[in-house]
């Protein structure tokens, strides 16, 4: 399954460069290993920059007993593709 998500520029840079290899998100979707995250850079309030990355979810952690806030998850990710609005999203 592919999930389209907004991501702030300060976090997008790390994912795009391959140094930020995780996403902490509200666990309001059926995130699972093998899913794809389509992360679209988003400037608040209300403007996409046109840049995006696609990342494979390699693991999902859901355990509030280890410091994670209830209702949130941490996903390990691996970037598989990146581009801009002029590129075709895989």
The rounded distance, in Å, linking the Cα atoms of 59 and 41 is 22
CB of 43 closer than 8 Å to CB of 77: no
- pTM for this model (two decimals): 0.90
CB of 74 closer than 8 Å to CB of 24: yes
> Shortest CA distance to 39 belongs to which of 67, 64, 8, 74?
8
Query: How do residues 3-56 score in pLDDT, each as one tens digit?
Result: 999 999 999 999 999 999 999 999 999 999 999 999 999 998 889 999 999 999
Let me know if domain 2-84 sits in CATH 2.30.130.30: yes
Per-residue DSSP letters for 36-73? EEEEEEEETTTEEEEEEEEEEEEEEE--GGGTPPTTEE
Q: Helix, strand, or coil here: 84?
A: strand
Q: How confident is the model at residue 90 (pLDDT cuts 50, 70, 90)?
A: low
């Amino acid at each position: 399954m592919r999930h389209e998500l907004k991501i702030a520029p300060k976090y997008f840079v790390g994912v795009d460069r391959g140094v930020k290899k995780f996403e902490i998100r509200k666990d309001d979707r059926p995130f699972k290993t093998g899913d794809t995250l389509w992360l679209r850079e988003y400037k608040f309030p209300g403007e996409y920059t046109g840049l995006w990355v696609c990342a494979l979810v390699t693991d999902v952690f859901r355990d509030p007993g280890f410091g994670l806030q209830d209702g949130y998850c941490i996903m390990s990710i691996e970037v598989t593709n990146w581009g801009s609005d002029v590129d075709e999203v895989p």
